[in-house]
Every structure is written in C-alpha cells, then in structure tokens.
Amino acid sequence: MAASPPTTTASGVREVPQPRAEVWRALAVLEPYCAVCDVSYVLAATGGGPDVGTTFVCAPGRLDGAEPAAGAPRGEIVAWEPEVLVTTRLVLTPETWTTRLEFADTASGGTRVSIAITHEPTGGGRVVRRLQRGALRRLVQRTVDAELEKVPAHVARVSDAG
C-alpha cells in the first residue's frame, strides 16, 4: 500500500472590529463574483443555502453569465457551521487545497478570523515532492498571509453594501 503524499499546512489569525455575523457574510458566503479576489463562483443548485456537500466551480475574472471554462477548479464545502466555521476543498489537477476559516468574538466586539490552508499534491513522485517541500511551505504560508491581508477589504464590501 503506497503512502499518501505529504500535506503542507500553514495558518494565521487576523482580528477585525466588525461583528462576527458581518465577517461571516463577507468571508464564508460565496457570491457569484468577488471583486476583492477577482474570482467568479458558480454554486451547484441546492434546495437551500450553502451547507456541507455544496459544490462549486471557481474561475478567474468575471463570468457575467458565461459558463466556467472546462477544467476550471472544482470545490466542495466540507464543513459548515454558520458564523463559526467553514471549510472548503478545491481540487486542481496536480493538487488539492483545503481552506478552513474559523470565526470567534473578540473582547472588544470584533471578530478573530483564523485561517488554515492545507496543500496536498496529487501527483509527482516522492523525490520531486521532497525537493519541493520547502518551496511549498513558503507558498502555503504566503497564501495564508495574502488571504489574511484581504480580510478587511472583504468585510468593507459587505459593510458598504449592507
């Protein structure tokens, strides 16, 4: 039995002054287009709102009603506890990215957002993975840092629209 490829995980925390419900709407509820990330999301039709098992496709830029290109990354919500936790898994051809967002109140009435991102290669041999390990650690941490940096912009979009 072959061992599963090693995963690389990085995490970080950011506090914002807005209440948890507002931050949850800004970060966990996938909209058709996110101007902060310049990414479009197409959610699979569900009977209700997003929940565990909801699938989606994401594509760079605005789709404006067009279908995502063939081969666009596909994702799934794998954990969903409103205003507490959302975890998504995004499957690309050579890798899978899992993003976990946790939300907690701060003493001042704001929100603490914890982000953990895990990268799992789905291809490549053991030697290649060993050579890439340090670069992957840096990439995953830079991804976490970049996502944390965008939190205020996401929240501002919801605050301005609300």
Q: What would the pLDDT profile of 11-34 be if each residue is shown by its tens digit?
A: 999 999 999 999 999 999 888 899
What are the tokens at 96?
A: 């899978």
E strand segments, 8-157: 8-16, 33-34, 39-43, 55-60, 74-81, 85-91, 95-105, 111-121
The chain-wide mean pLDDT, for the chain, equals 88
What is the average pLDDT across 35-52?
A: 84
What pTM, to 2 d.p., does this model score?
A: 0.87
What is the average pLDDT across 101-112?
A: 97
What is the average pLDDT across 132-145?
A: 88
- Sequential DSSP letters for 111-142: EEEEEEEEEEE-SS-HHHHHHHHHHHHHHHHH
Q: Which domains does the chain have, with CATH numbers?
A: 9-161 (3.30.530.20)
Whole-number Å distance between alpha carbons of 151 and 26: 8
Q: What is the pLDDT of residue 82?
A: 95
Q: Which residue has the higher pLDDT, 121 or 127?
A: 121
Residue 69: pLDDT over 80:
yes
Residue 2: pLDDT over 80:
no
Q: What is the pLDDT of residue 85?
A: 97
Q: What is the pLDDT of residue 1?
A: 44
Q: What 3-state class would DSSP assign to 1? A: coil
